[in-house]
Amino acid sequence: MFGKFALSLGLTVTAAAVLGGLCGSVASAAPAPHAGQPAVFNRTSAAEAPQLGAAVNDVMLDKAGPRYVQTLLAHYRSITPEWEMEMSQLEPSRGHFTFARADQIVAFANRHHMPVRGHTLVWDEMVPSWVLHGSWTRAQLESMLHTYITTVVSHYRGKVEEWDVVNEPLTTDGHMRQSIWERVIGPDYVSLAFRWAHEADPHARLFLNEYGAEWNDPKEHALYQLVSGLKAAGIPIGGVGFQAHLLLDAHPPQAELTGVLRQFAALGLRLEITELDVRAGGSAPLARRMAEEASIYRTVAASCAAVRACARVTTWGITDAATWIGTSNRPLPFDTHYRAKPAWYALRAGLTPRG
Ligand code: G3I
């Protein structure tokens, strides 16, 4: 089904490009514990709960005060820098790398023995203007991206356990997003990015991270086609991240999300829910919205817990006081005063494996 479907979308061409691309013969190396890092977390059995992580930004870490840090350390076990590792933040001008803000978050995580998810090496947003507005041949842009990935991953080698190597490569209907990487390099940019990241840190687990692929629909089918093509070509992909930015009126049934996760697990990949939040604004009574939000948190957590390959759920922030979608949408497990919401209790309950 996927082959025929992909053909209708031209994805077979993409998959063939991946298969025919410059594929290192490297297998996806199982990451070993980094020096100074906690032992890599793996769910050794389905009876073990997935780990809980949070996106953290340096402004909150610096200025939010003790309740933020207390809540983070009390309830979360891993950290994703929310935006400090984006290309526009790390290399704002060519050859000029600014790691300080991201280093601060990584140092905090390492100090507290919390694994770090590097986010993200290649994306079509947060691309610095010197890249976006440059005049590049394919060879020149490949060389630039190779240097960038090698520099960044080498800088964090031994401090970052896993990377979102490529973020959001697909459009809603399952085609390759027309980023500068796709337009100038072509679909091979995906396999090249994974190969270069693996060369820079063979121990890091390498993810492809996507949103809107939590349903059994064209985008998810295209993601499966892309990822299975990478695996078949021996590209060192170690995991798939499902962002799970959900809404009260747009969230997958538990059976459907569990089925999607099982399908990708069958490829031998680690899976993670990487950016969970639930947009819960609106005019309906607050209690009803918070109850609906909690139900969605529980569904996502329980779907991950049901599939042993799903090892971590990361919420995209901690408190409604600091969220990319605005406080009025109340998307996170703790309210603006760090009080646990129904979503928090539902998240915890969902993470507890059944049976
Ligand atoms: O904090 C700085 C501030 O110091 C500076 O003065 C100001 C003006 O430049 O920018 C502030 O940083 C902003 C940052 O959010 C913190 O608010 C950046 O401009 C802004 O671009 C950044 O947006 C982030 C966005 O990705 C783009 O990187 C969001 O925080 C972040 O939540 C969002 O996260 C994305 C994931 O990376 C990928 N999946 C979707 C998700 C939501 O869009």
Average pLDDT over residues 107-128: 97
- Contacts for 176 with CB less than 8 Å, ≥ 6 apart: 11, 14, 169, 170, 182, 187
Strand partners, 210: 242
Q: Is 78 in contact with 51 (CB distance < 8 Å)?
A: yes
- Say if CB 169 and CB 125 are below 8 A apart: no
Q: State the average pLDDT over residues 318-343.
A: 98
Containing structural domain, residue 318: 40-64+244-355
Q: How many domains does the chain have?
A: 2
**Once rounded to an integer, what is the mean pLDDT over residues 254-282?**
98
What pLDDT, on a 0 to 100 scale, did the predictor assign at position 22? 39
Confidence of residue 169 (pLDDT cuts 50, 70, 90): very high
Atom 43 of ligand 1: nearest residue by CA position: 324
For residue 264, is it within any domain? yes
- Is the distance from CB of 15 to CB of 221 less than 8 angstroms? no
Enzyme catalytic residues: 168, 275
My answer on whether 51 and 128 are in the same domain is no
Domain assignment present for 122: yes
Could you tell me if residue 117 is inside a domain? yes
Question: Is pLDDT of 35 > 50?
Answer: no
Q: Identify the bridge partners of residue 118 per DSSP, sorted by sequence position.
A: 163
pLDDT value at 225 more than 80? yes
Which of 90, 82, 80 is closest to 322 using CA atoms? 82
In this prediction, residue 167 has a pLDDT band, given cuts at 50, 70 and 90, of: very high
pLDDT of res. 355? 59
Q: What is the pLDDT of residues 62-107, one digit of tens each?
A: 888 899 999 999 999 999 999 999 999 999 999 999 999 999 999 9
Same domain, 161 and 119: yes
Cα separation, 17 vs 348, in Å, equals 42
- Read off the pTM: 0.90
Please name the residue whose Cα sits nearest to atom 18 of ligand 1.
83
Q: Tell me: the pLDDT tens digits for 137-149?
A: 999 999 999 999 9
Q: Measuring from each residue's beta carbon to the nearest atom of ligand 1, which residues come in under 6 Å?
A: 57, 59, 82-83, 86, 125-126, 167, 211, 243, 275, 324
116 and 57, same structural domain? no
340 shares a domain with 275? yes
Ligand 1 pocket: which of 82, 85, 124 to mutate (most atoms within 8 A of CB):
82
65: alpha, beta or left, given left = phi > 0 and alpha = psi -120 to 50?
left
